[in-house]
Structure 1
Amino acid sequence: MTTPLLSLTWTDHVTGRQGFLVVDRLVRGVSSGGLRMREGCTLEEVTGLARGMTMKEALHYNPQGRYVPLGGAKGGIDCDPRDPAAYTLLVRFLRAMRPYVESFWTTGEDLGLTQDLVDRAAAEAGLVSSVQAVYPLLDDEKAARKRLADAFAVEVDGIGLDELVGGCGVAESVLTALDRAGVPHAGTRVCVQGLGTMGGATARFLARAGLTIVAVADIKGTIANPEGLDVEALLAARDAYGTVDRAVLRPGDRELPGDAWLSVDAEVLVPAAVSYAIDVANQERVTARWIVEAANMPVLPAAEALLAARAVTVLPDVVVNSGTNAWWWWTLFGDIGADAEEAFTHTRRSMRALVEQMLARAEADGTSPRAAAHAIVAERLPAIAERFGWYR
């Protein structure tokens, strides 16, 4: 693990709560990484996420593309987003981070925060935009900003395009793994932990691809039905935090304890909520053949080693959930327009190629998909540095 370029801890003068910013690396003087808010967020967690962002950016490096990957960064605030004081805390954090956001840290929604909330707080903190540091790199700033704003205004079946592209990428990762293994989509059972932005969109795309969503989990517990859940009804009944109103459950739907999602009979398990959800103690309950990391760092390294010994394949977060970040930049830099089908087509093509490359590399090297992804990054970072320099 390399030492981050910048690591800082901020203490709020009003509440005493802490926030963190870690810049792992700069490319062309800019870094990219979302801002999360959760109770218990730590500097160590944010540091790992920032390193992951460097990897996600490098994995999407296309020398012929208009979007040139940035460096990796991450922000975090130790607070429950449901806390009545959370919003004003967010504004104060962004006000304190303003010099960094203006200069070299582009950020946006992550766990516990929506983009609308980040945008509103950023404006109140005196920022032009949460991604304004990238503007000097754009050929036509006005056209690029309009394109991104138009893309954020696009809705598909009542859900914003920005909330769907990440799940589209996760779903395509699942489908690619199934196709390589010769497993038909129909009849493949899936359990999704977390029904927020990423988990909800993933469930929708997988259900529409013919897979059966047999369980979902939210903060209230696990909802399961071996015959398949009505995904659209559950999505329509979510609140802003991804919690499902149980009034929409059908007679065959069962309510199970919160951690029951771990051991649901399913071929594919998609942790799409908090980090560190699968550890050494509970990994033995997993019966799925694939764990697909829609969340950031949901499987602890020691647990992943034990899972591998049981022939459970983990598709790593740095690949699987990289679609949202890439979509932002594909759109802003002009590789795609503000159109849902164009976004989904580009995301599916890019993610399938990346997952195929990772799985082929893992097979050839006799390593895990994560080790293969790391190997690809190790090859691409020097190429990016040679082209753009380490910091400039």
Structure 2
Amino acid sequence: MPLLSLTWTDHVTGRRGFLVVDRLVRGVASGGLRMRAGCSLEEVTGLARGMTMKEALHFDADDPTVRYVPLGGAKGGIDCDPREPDAYGVLVRYLRAMRPYIESFWTMGEDLGLTQDTVDRAAAEAGLVSTIQAVHPLLDDERAARQRLADAFAVRVDGLGLDALVGGCGVAESVLTALDRAGTAYRGTRVSVQGLGTMGGATARFLSRAGLRIVAVADVKGTIAHPDGLDIESLLAARDPYGTVDRAALRPGVLELPGDAWLSADAEVLVPAAVSYAIDTGNQGTIKARWIVEAANMPVRPEAEEALTARGITVLPDVVVNSATNAWWWWTLFGDIGPHAEEAFAHIRRAMRTLVGTMLTRAETGRTTPRAAAHTMAAARLQVIAERYGWYR
């Protein structure tokens, strides 16, 4: 059971929001806030547990030079479509209600349906100094740390903010590590991506630049596809803040297909990078890919993963694959890396290569799935964290 689980009801609209703190480490838990229609307490509880594991998986107990010590895991969620006219007001009121928790022990940022700019603006209206102020007492030099993170958020790379790229860099490196271990060439490998928001868009950019062909991309309007590969940069330039691509900007020859066509695309790699529970027992049979790489949180239902595994399809789990965004925040804030793009990308690539490689080796030697291997790794590291910093259950 999580340490804390609560449900909030907006007194204006009746919409509900949730906060789940799975675990505290040094009195603090980390995890973003999502906003989507249909968000539930069960969903947020699973996401909070996943955050605990993501934090633990980046814990290096043997390196005394590492400044960042993982935090606990938490997650927030609001059952509201972020496109609704009253969504921003709901967000502000939610943050006002959660202010005591954010000030005391919950550090949070953007997740599905929200941008960091929106979260920061709403947090200021709610009277918060920062959405990560609970971690400030753990910093050696708070002023320098906050400036370092602010400088990092100001960095732009080819038109996109560094903060919007780091997660996709980690997802892409997970894909490339799997291809390398299988002896599969990058050039010619086909990829289908669900979602062209922060995570999906950055993943598509990094994989395209590595030589892979992005043959299909799905958003709320449907699937965009081309067998020879899509022009990812033009699609990124034509998307709105929610990751929806303006169809008027599509180039000749690009196909517009139904929304679920990304699942059955002729591709070796499938990247669900949007909503949770996208792949279930009802649609998993249409998948032709060899690898499913979970850029989104909880996109594959457990029973669907069992069926996929039986068919020889490897699922690389979210707790590893999309963990770089969270880790980058803390590596930067605590001072393990500076506010520079190349330093951030290099650090992420090294960390993800090590983590994904270790996970896949354990899965192979233990004759189990990558997810089971990742969970075993996380459990072992959580035990060390509890012994070293205390147990807050």
SS at match of 1:252: coil
Q: How does 1:1-392 map to 2 (within 5 A)?
A: 3-63=1-61, 64=63, 65-391=66-392
Amino acid at match of 1:318: V
Deviations 1:165-203 (A, max 9, x none): 000000000000000000010110000000000000000
Structure-2 separation of matches of 1:166 and 1:68: 19
Task: Give the Å deviation of 1:312.
Answer: 0.4
SS in 1 for 2:131: coil
SS at match of 1:263: coil
Q: Give the 3-state SS of the residue equivalent to 2:136 in structure 1.
A: helix
Query: Aligned partners of 2:44 and 2:343: how far apart in 1?
Result: 32
Residues in 1 aligned to 2:80 and 2:365: alpha-carbon distance in whole angstroms: 44
Deviation of 1:391 after TM superposition, in Å, equals: 2.8
> Whole-Å Cα distance in 1 between the matches of residues 251 and 94 of structure 2?
43
Paired amino acid for 2:19: L
> Secondary structure in 2 aligned to 1:191?
strand
The CA deviation string for residues 124-178 of structure 1, in whole angstroms up to 9 with x for no partner, is 1111000000000000000000000000000001100000000000000000000
For normalisation by structure 2, the TM-score amounts to 0.99
- Once residues 251 and 122 of structure 2 are traced to their aligned partners in structure 1, the CA distance between those partners, rounded to angstroms, is 39
Q: Tell me the distance in 2 between the aligned counterparts of 1:126 and 1:248.
A: 40
Aligned residue identity for 2:23:
R
What is the deviation of 1:62? 1.5
Please report the RMSD computed on the Cα atoms of aligned residues, expressed in angstroms.
0.7
SS in structure 2 of the partner of residue 170 of structure 1:
helix
Q: Structure 2 counterpart of 1:23, which letter? A: V
Give 2:21's aligned amino acid: V
Which digits, 9 at most, give the CA deviation of each residue in 1:6-55, with x for residues without a partner? 00000111111100000000000000000000000000000000000000
Tell me the distance in 1 between the aligned counterparts of 2:133 and 2:99: 11
Distance 1:51 1:378 in 2: 12
The alpha carbon displacement at 1:251 in A equals 1.8
Point out where structure 1 has 5 or more consecutive residues left out of the alignment.
none
TM-score by length of 1: 0.99
Q: Per-residue deviation at 1:248?
A: 1.9
Q: Secondary structure at the match of 1:214?
A: strand
Give 1:86 deviation, angstroms: 0.6
1:311 & 1:189 partners in 2: Cα distance? 18
The one-letter code matched in structure 1 to 2:292 is: I
Q: Distance in 2 between matches of 1:85 and 1:255?
A: 31
Q: d(CA) in 2 for partners of 1:329 and 1:390?
A: 21
Distance in 1 (CA, whole Å) between partners of 2:80 and 2:252 is: 37
1:147, 1:62 → 2: CA distance?
22
Distance 2:255 2:86 in 1: 35
How far apart are the structure 1 equivalents of 2:254 and 2:375?
Answer: 40
C-alpha displacement of 1:250 = 1.8
> Secondary structure in 1 aligned to 2:187?
coil
1:378 Cα shift?
1.1
Deviation at 1:84, TM superposition (A): 0.7
Matched residues, percent identical? 80
